[in-house]
Chains A and B, each alone.
Chain A
Amino acid sequence: MEENQNPVYKNKDYGQSRELLYSYENDGQYKKTVGFHGEPDRIILQQAWDLFGERIEDARKRVKAGKVSPVVYYMEKNLLDPMNLGMIAGISLWRVKWHFRPVVFNRLQEKTLKKYAKAFNITIDQLKNIE
């Protein structure tokens, strides 16, 4: 573990906070240090954020191509999966998956759209037209 070195992530906002880390030296001493996470931790965190970025970009392309509804894009943008989205919006899992089809999405009622908009913290206009 590298101690007290600010790690460099791809995103400059990441890795700015120092945390308390425990460690054990083989002479039988437990140590507490306040410092930045080391390289291995950085790699695995970066891996997760890379995957999220890819999924968001992929979802955007598929929405633009008219293959899936904007719900998918906002779901990925909020780092959700269908189950979590269902729990947050108060819509059952099967209906959430059903709404992934553009045809179904286009004839959704105002009431349902409002639920999604509230879950994503956006307006209905933004929900219908992604940037």
Chain B
Amino acid sequence: MVKLDYKHRQAGHCESGVTSNLLNYYHFQISEPMVFGIGAGLFFSHLPFLKMQHAPTTSFRVWPGMVFNRSTRALGITTINHRFRNPKDAMNRLNEVLDQGIPVGLQVGTFHLPFFPPEYRMHYNMHNMVVYGYDKETYFVSDTLMEPVVEISYDDLARVRFAKGPFAPQGRMYYPVKIPAEVDFKPAIIKGIRKTANNMIGVPFPLIGVKGIRYLSGKMRQWERKLGPDKASYYLGQVLRMEEEVGTAGAGFRFIYGAFLNEAADVLNQSWLREISFEMGENANKWREFSYLGSRNCKKRGKPEQSYDFLADMLLEVADREEKIFRKLAKIN
């Protein structure tokens, strides 16, 4: 039996929460927004040709795994990433690593997770959690979405680690092995902000970043005419679900990113970043307002001021705000 002295803390976003908790285990103080910012997690993309749960995919963050990899690399932390072919090897390796006293991050699918809140139990293969001990057939799990720590059986864990479908985890496990004694946050933060700014305004492709928000706004105007009221309302609901639910901590990560900019202003000693963090917060509140009005629309209380055109105009305004913010952030040095 192994049960490490691991401190479980709830987090808004699963992957940055897991990374921050894993590093904190080794007494390396780093907050969740900091990990998210350094890992350049903020993103936007709208892919109408890729359907998820019968509606187009809207994503507010980068591919899974990137936040952990980027943030640890930028801070000079050595990590190990494993994928496996068969469940038995994967579970044996997990036990070996736990025996050495190392808590392990896992990528899992959510559909068969027994402790997961039932309202989120959809096919989503990009969830992250930490295993910090085992006792024969029982594994001790810290899931940042949940308030308490939980337990899971051997069979269930093997199953969720090898969930199939798009973005299959293939038993992916990861953990930091070597943390340098002295870490300089400054270059990492600057690099992270530059990367995010580039993702949001520098990619010459219309479905990504600020252009993606404008593209979504244009699409939204056509939904009611092309798809009929029911389907249009469901499509809108899908955008809002991706924005508010499944571990975004609200407003499509904009609150976390604002909190990161606020912290970065202290670390870098640049006060203009704090002003931008306030702008980001206002922008996030605008997203919140968008989701509030949008959800009224989903409830079929279509008043004129909550029409799709109105919501699309709101998105355009948000896009302008974000473009302004990231044009400023791109000049950081």
Interface of B is mostly: helix
Check B92 for interface membership: any CB of A closer than 8 A.
no
Convert B114-158 into 0s and 1s, putting 1 for each residue whose CB lies closer than 8 angstroms to a CB of A: 000111001100000000000000000000111100000000000
User: How many B residues, CB 8 Å from partner?
Assistant: 49
A34–B259 touching, CB < 8 Å: no
In-complex Cβ contact of B282 among A26, A47, A87 (8 A): A26
User: How many A residues, CB 8 Å from partner?
Assistant: 38
Check A88 for interface membership: any CB of B closer than 8 A.
yes
Most chain-B CB neighbours within 10 Å: which of A16, A18, A26, A41? A41
A20–B245 touching, CB < 8 Å: no
Binds B, one of A65-73, A78-86, A96-104: A78-86
A43 to B291, CA, bound (A): 11
In-complex Cβ contact of B258 among A9, A15, A24, A40 (8 A): A24
In-complex Cβ contact of A44 among B117, B237, B274 (8 A): B237
A23–B250 touching, CB < 8 Å: yes
A78 to B258, CA, bound (A): 38
A85 to B233, CA, bound (A): 26
A14–B119 touching, CB < 8 Å: yes
In-complex Cβ contact of A41 among B145, B164, B245, B299 (8 A): B245
Q: How far is the CB of B205 from chain A (nearest CB, A)?
A: 24
- Apart from A40-B296, A79-B123: 8 A-B pairs, beta carbons within 8 A: A17-B147, A26-B282, A43-B296, A44-B294, A45-B241, A47-B233, A48-B241, A81-B54
10 residue pairs bridging A and B, Cβ less than 8 Å apart:
A17-B117, A26-B285, A28-B278, A30-B281, A39-B295, A44-B294, A51-B54, A81-B54, A84-B165, A88-B164
